[in-house]
Every structure is written in structure tokens, then in C-alpha cells.
Amino acid sequence: MALLQSNQDVISTALQQFSKLLNQQVFTEPVISEEDMVTIVDDWIKFYLSHFSDKMSGDQQEQERALEKLQEELRTSSNPFLEKYRAFLKAL
């Protein structure tokens, strides 16, 4: 079942903002471990889910499906960032 258009719009907005956040990151020394960076990204994802949860519309089931979709999309969009960070660590 397709998500409500309003929820798709919220997801799109969240992904755009999350992408901007990731693109603003500059890798410098002192470095943090890969595990710590994964924790930071997980915290960002939790923040975005919390922030955008009240913007979802529809019944509870629809909102839950939209949040699951948002979480999936945020995780997917964070993978290239984490790969880039891993490459940065290996280059040191």
C-alpha cells in the first residue's frame, strides 16, 4: 500500500535535510573511531525520526509505516557517508 502523499513529502524533506547534514561534515584530526561515527550517525537518524514523527499524517498504522520508510531511507542514505569515513580512516 502506498504512503500518503503528505507523508512522502515529509520523507523527502527529511532526506534532503539529512543529506545536507552529511555533506557538511568535514573529516579532520583528531579522528574518532569508525564505531563512534556509526553511533553518531545512528543518533542523527534517531533525532530525525523523532523530529519528523509529529509531521506524519494519517492513522497510527499509516504513520508507523511512514516512519519505517523514513528510517530505511535515512539508513540507506547514510551508507555512502560511512563508506567515505571508512576510506578517510584507512588513508591515515
Mean pLDDT, rounded, for 24-52: 96
Contact status, residue 84 vs residue 25, Cβ threshold 8 Å: no
Give the list of residues 6+ apart from residue 44 with CB closer than 8 angstroms, or none: 18, 21, 78
Mean pLDDT, rounded, for 25-37: 93
pLDDT in tens, 57-75: 999 999 999 999 999 999 9
- Kindly tell me the number of DSSP H helices and DSSP E strands found in the chain: 3, 0
pLDDT in tens, 16-27: 999 999 999 999
- The pLDDT of residue 29 is 82
What is the rounded CA–CA span in Å between residue 15 and residue 31? Answer: 26
Mean pLDDT, rounded, for 26-51: 96
pLDDT confidence band for 3 (50 / 70 / 90): confident
Domains recognised in the chain with CATH numbers? 5-91 (1.20.58.420)
Look up the pTM and report it. 0.92
